[in-house]
Structure 1
Amino acid sequence: MNAGSSVEITHDERVRETLLALRSLTDSLDRMHGALKDAMGMNGTDLAALRMMVIREERGESVSPHDVARHLHISTASTTKLLDRLTAAGFVERHRHPHDRRSRIVVLTKSLRQTFGEHFGTRMSPIRDVVEQYNDQDLAVIGRFLSELSQRIEDTQ
């Protein structure tokens, strides 16, 4: 190859590179969540429930026990046991739904936010360092890509 020549990468090759990068990312995230689970002394299902509740809280959405069961694809009996464990650990509280007094919602506690922040914050620092390298236009594209990808994955569940 000559020093001045360049090789064009096809769209299919770019798609393949992106899919391989996503596979690598999901593997890294799985390992990060495994370490977080171990550091917090909980099982994977409990951590997945807490992550879902944090995300929903950030969106301003309430979470019912039924939402937890549906998200994790577990029975209502398993959900009750999971919420009992998280309540006993001081991570969640059950409250009456503000608009439907017959229903309950699950609310994250200050203790969870502090514990989660301590463990997750240290793991987020290197991720933030990478994100901050990109300009606003790049971040808008990356954000849109990740949001659309997440939504497509959710739609197939």
Structure 2
Amino acid sequence: MDADGHARGYWYGKDPGQKELAVGVLNALRDYRVSEQAMRKRTRSSMLMGEKDLLALRYLFEAEADGRVMKPKDLGDRLGITSASMTTLIDRLVESGHIRREPHPTDRRALIVRPTPASDQEVRHTLGAMHRRMLDVASALSPTEAEVVTGFLRHMSEALDTIDEEPGEATHS
């Protein structure tokens, strides 16, 4: 174990040199994820919301910022939940005053869901200082450092998004 409580080489072997630096990067990334998860838990607790509720608000804020509207089905697809679960989530968020149902602007048979101004203010109040601190850290990077970090995180996302074959399913040529 190192001073931060990380098991050295548990997943990655015990090779010295470059691999040790890479393991340090992965441990720092793991620590960041733990901090981010703790922040999300504090936010959910503070706002008395579940994870899907907060994620729904995020998607609705993004759509509104982009000038798009979201039907309940669109939001359910983004969240990966069933129509019944989406109805329950929307009912809960309407009841709490975080979103509202409105007629679709061009399809009179459809409804859209939008965040309320009060929910926008609540999210900004709850997360504003943390987002400013994060932006300050990212803004302190040089352009070259920002490109390296961005590239690294995109490649890590690709590595995590790749589905590995089950053991024994690999094709042998």
* TM-score interval for Structure 1 and Structure 2 normalised by the shorter chain: 0.7 to 0.9
Post-superposition offset of 1:58: 3.3
What are the Cα deviations for residues 97-129 of structure 1, in whole angstroms up to 9, with x where unaligned?
A: 223332222111110110000001122232123
After TM superposition, the score normalised by the length of structure 1 is 0.74
Q: CA RMSD in A?
A: 2.9
**Residue aligned with 2:109, SS:** coil
**Residue aligned with 1:107, SS:** strand
Report which of the two structures shows the higher radius of gyration computed on alpha carbons. Answer: 2
Question: Moved runs in structure 1, 4+ residues, more than 6 A?
Answer: 151-156
- How many aligned positions are there? 148
1:39 aligns with 2:51: no
After TM superposition, the score normalised by the length of structure 2 is 0.68
1:126 aligns with 2:127: no
State which drifts further: 103-112 or 13-22. 13-22
Residue 99 of structure 1 aligns to which amino acid in structure 2? T
1:90 equivalent among 93, 97, 102? 97
Higher helix share: 1
Post-superposition offset of 1:46: 1.1
Q: After the TM superposition, which residues 56-135 of structure 1 pair with which residues of structure 2 at under 5 Å, given as runs?
A: 56-135=63-142
Residue 131 of structure 1 aligns to which amino acid in structure 2? A
1:32–1:123: 8 Å Cα contact kept in structure 2? no
2:146 equivalent among 127, 132, 139? 139
Residue 105 of structure 1 aligns to which amino acid in structure 2? I
Residue 66 of structure 1 aligns to which amino acid in structure 2? K
Structure 1 CA distance, aligned partners of 2:45 and 2:63?
Answer: 23
Residue 141 of structure 2 aligns to which amino acid in structure 1? Y
Q: Which runs of 5+ in 2 are unaligned?
A: 1-15, 164-173
Post-superposition offset of 1:55: 3.0
1:65–1:105: 8 Å Cα contact kept in structure 2? yes
Change (3 A) 1:153 1:93: farther
Structure 1 CA distance, aligned partners of 2:155 and 2:66?
Answer: 16
Structure 1 CA distance, aligned partners of 2:78 and 2:161?
Answer: 10
Identical amino acids, percent of aligned pairs: 30
Q: Which runs of 5+ in 1 are unaligned?
A: 1-7
